[in-house]
Chain A
Amino acid sequence: MLTFLVRRLLHAVAIVAVATVASFVLLRVAPGDPLLASTEQPGLSAAARAELRARHGLDRPLPAQVAAYSAAMARGDLGLSIVEQRPVAAVLAEALPATLVLSGAGLGLAIIVGLAAGTLQGWRPHDRLAAVLGNALTLLYALPEVVVGVALLALLGLRMGLFPVGGMADPLVELMGGPGARLRDLAWHLALPSLTLALAWGAALARQQRSAMREIGGEDFVRTARAKGASPAAVWARHAMRPTLPGAVALIGTMLPVLAGGTVIVEMLFSWPGMGSLIVRGVAARDYPLVAGAVIVVGTVIALGTLLADLVVLALDPRVRDGAPT
């Protein structure tokens, strides 16, 4: 158990380290001095420029600079955004919750749909409905999410007018509505973008759950439970479902990276004011500090997310807990 924890912790630390170094490189390779537009001012004398560089540590060796940069990051100092003319940390802090809400809703929906479809298909292989559901999900899995999103937007949003096609809230409700109305409005706006994400992510889960369920269905302990006269529902709930959960959680864990950075296209398509839209805007405007900061935040969210998934697997799977090889 300890080796498992240490290994996963190292993995998480490595992700943050890679993200930090990558964002440092982004800023270093970017035209101009990092973190400091003032050294590029034309009226500055060479001596004054050197002094400024020294004050900000830019004359020190590279490893020292990376260390200082990481320390600043850890304090939450991500520099100034060029387009927004505000601290990057503040801009990102506004966008992150929107993305987490969207991806959280998408993942929640994916888990419900994916697990249900996979379980049904694996437990009752000859069920018609299960087969149709599974095949539909497999088909959707292969499609580019931008196409799925455009189709949902065109059919459910524009054609049928069931859901709003863009943004996160109705301005009127946001201004005048009570908490309940605002929540309903948010869910309303979440429908199409989160469904797009769920259709893409749910299929992977459904596949894994289907094969896990099929395997369990042939196990001796399931046969024994049936033989001793337990009802099908009880066999399913008490014996069959439980062993498939760690695998599903592990897969959900591997999906977490997508949570923080995989919503770019959906956010742009549905004008969702989250990290994805922000990053695209930053790239289009060559806002290096903004993109670098976003890379760090995404990396950190991913590292925390994978770690969380590992802990859940640890809690669910006694084999991992007792140190069996995984």
Chain B
Amino acid sequence: MAAIGILGLVAAAGAAAPWLAPHDPTVPLDLLLLKNAPPSGAHPLGTDPFSRDLLSRALYGARTSLSIGLLGAALATAVATAWGMLAGWLPDWLGDGMMGLVDVLRAIPQKIVLLATLLFFPHPSALTLAILLGATSWTTMSRLVFVQVRLLRVRQFVTAARALGASPAGILARHVIPHLAGTVAAASALLVADILAVEAGLSFLGLGVRPPDASWGSILQDGVPYLASAWWVAVTPCALLVLTVLSVAHLADAAHLRRHRAD
């Protein structure tokens, strides 16, 4: 319950960022007097090295980071389900080949693929980032779906449906997908957490969301050089990331447990 509350709060704050934020997140307020100012009444979370209001940046950062996480995970889920289902349903030799390809892709670290791809996107938009992250995160989940479909394919209710003359598409939609829903839901929740973490990492490297735009990773990038003197800059995005990621992971766990009890 706490997890749902935290997630709802963060999502609402991100969605309402344009109305909630007291300042423009990208505009320096006073480069001489307000650099790395500690939290105060006027700036509840303090200001960053460019004298921007951290609360505003954190709110807009929630908007950017969460959109990338949700969109990327949705995309990866769609690709993973389609590929895994197809590979599981098609004849063994073809499906095994499709999964062999997935295994090879899985062996190459996501970060390396992303970095190489980002060569061609000097200023990736949030949408581009979501697509790139989604396109590089689907392999593990497709393996999960594949294994499930292979198991379902030989179950009696599938054979019965086939004997009754149901089309393959009909069987997949009516008899296979409902059985996948639990696995897919739990796995895609974990994907959201993963993509949030990877996006934070990329933006921390300066290759994801670019300045002056705010994401949790880019705020962290601003804050790390000043860890010793202005720790509040780095603490804000870290705390938000930890709360969000743990809540998502907790929800995924809960979904997983519920499914196991139902089985």
Contacts and interface: CB of A to CB of B under 8 A. Distances in A.
Nearest to A256: B107
A265 B204 contact: yes
Contact of A142 (B107, B227, B249): B249
B188 to A, nearest CB: 16
Interface stretch (A54-62, A205-213, A276-284): A276-284
Contacts of A235: none
A312 interface: no
B61 to A, nearest CB: 14
Interface stretch (B15-23, B46-54, B115-123, B154-162): B115-123
A261 B249 CA distance: 25
B262 interface: no
Interface in A23-58: 23, 26, 29-30
Interface in B232-251: 234, 238, 241-242, 245-246, 249
B205 interface: yes
Contact of A295 (B116, B201, B206, B234): B116
Contacts, number: 119
B100 to A, nearest CB: 8
Contact of B224 (A150, A261, A279): A150
A291 B104 CA distance: 20
A299 to B, nearest CB: 7
B135 interface: no
Contact of B109 (A11, A260, A288): A260
A19 B197 CA distance: 25
B201 A145 contact: yes
Given A142-B246, A150-B224, A158-B227, A261 B111 contact: yes
Contacts of B231: 154
A43 to B, nearest CB: 28
Contact of A19 (B108, B115, B242): B108
A283 B207 contact: yes
A14 interface: yes
Q: From DSSP, what is the main secondary structure of chain B's interface residues?
A: helix
A249 interface: no
Interface in A250-275: 257-258, 260-262, 264-265, 268-269
Contacts of B238: 147, 150-151
B200 A144 contact: yes
B205 A11 contact: no
B119 A283 contact: yes
B115 A158 contact: no
B116 A262 contact: no
Nearest to A26: B116
Interface string A277-316: 0011001101010011011001100110010000000000
Contacts of B207: 280, 283-284
Nearest to A262: B109
Determine which residue in A11, A147, A154, A280 has the highest number of CB atoms from chain B within 10 A of its CB, and name it.
A147
A146 B220 contact: yes
Contacts of A280: 115, 205-207
A15 B119 contact: no
B152 interface: no
B104 A15 contact: yes
A58 to B, nearest CB: 20
B108 to A, nearest CB: 7
B103 interface: yes
Nearest to B207: A283
Interface string B246-263: 100100000000000000
Nearest to A13: B104
A303 B107 CA distance: 8
A183 interface: no
A291 B245 contact: no
Contacts of B227: 150, 153-154, 158
Given A143-B245, A264-B112, A291-B115, 16 more contacts: A11-B104, A26-B116, A143-B241, A144-B196, A144-B200, A146-B217, A147-B241, A153-B224, A257-B106, A257-B109, A261-B111, A269-B204, A284-B207, A298-B112, A302-B109, A303-B107
14 contacts: A142-B193, A142-B245, A142-B246, A143-B245, A144-B245, A145-B201, A257-B108, A264-B115, A283-B116, A283-B119, A283-B207, A302-B107, A303-B107, A306-B107
Interface of A: 11, 14-15, 18-19, 22-23, 26, 29-30, 139, 142-147, 150-151, 153-154, 158, 257-258, 260-262, 264-265, 268-269, 279-280, 283-284, 286, 288, 291-292, 294-295, 298-299, 302-303, 306
The 9 closest A-B pairs by CB, nearest first: A261-B109, A144-B197, A261-B112, A142-B249, A14-B104, A265-B201, A147-B238, A158-B228, A146-B201
